[in-house]
Amino acid sequence: MKIYIDGKYYSRADARIPVFDHGLLYGDGVFEGIRIYNGNVFRLREHIERLYQSAKALYLKIPVSKDEMEDAVLRTVEINKKANGYIRLIVTRGEGPLGIDPFQCKRATVIIIVADIHLYPEEYYKKGIEIITASTRRMSSDCLDPRVKSLNYLNNVLAKIEARQAGCLEAIMLNRDGFVAECTGDNIFIVKDGELLTPSSYHGALDGITMRTVMEIAESLGITTCETTLTRYDLYNADECFLSGTGAEIVPVVKIDGRVTGSGSPGAITKMIMKRFILIIQI
pLDDT digits (tens, 9 = 90+) for 181-237: 999 999 999 999 999 999 998 888 999 999 999 999 999 999 999 999 999 999 999
Chain mean position to CA 1:
23
Q: Tell me the backbone φ, ψ of residue 71, rounded to 5 degrees.
A: -65, -40
What rounded mean pLDDT belongs to the chain?
A: 96
- Give the least confident one: 138-142, 169-173, 197-201: 138-142
Is pTM beyond 0.75 here? yes
Name the nearest CA neighbour of 94 among 7, 33, 20, 14.
Answer: 20
**pLDDT-based confidence at 142, cuts 50/70/90?**
confident
The whole-number average pLDDT for the span 108-126 is: 94
Q: What percent of the chain has pLDDT over 90?
A: 93
Q: Which domains does the chain have, with CATH numbers?
A: 2-115 (3.30.470.10), 122-281 (3.20.10.10)
Q: Catalytic annotation on 149?
A: yes
Q: Is 16:10 a contact under the CB 8 Å cutoff? A: yes
pLDDT score recorded for residue 266: 97
Helices (H), the chain: 22-26, 44-57, 66-80, 122-127, 154-165, 209-220, 232-236, 268-281
Q: Is the pLDDT of residue 283 over 80?
A: no
For the sheet with 85-92, list strands across it. 8-11, 2-5, 109-115, 85-92, 29-37, 40-41
pLDDT score of 140: 85
Per the DSSP assignment, residues forming a β-bridge with 129 are 253
Q: Taking residues 152-161, what's their average pLDDT?
A: 96
Q: Please report, rounded to a whole number, the percentage of residues in the chain having pLDDT higher than 70.
A: 100
Catalytic residue among 149, 160, 255, 275: 149
φ, ψ (nearest 5 deg) of residue 50: -65, -35
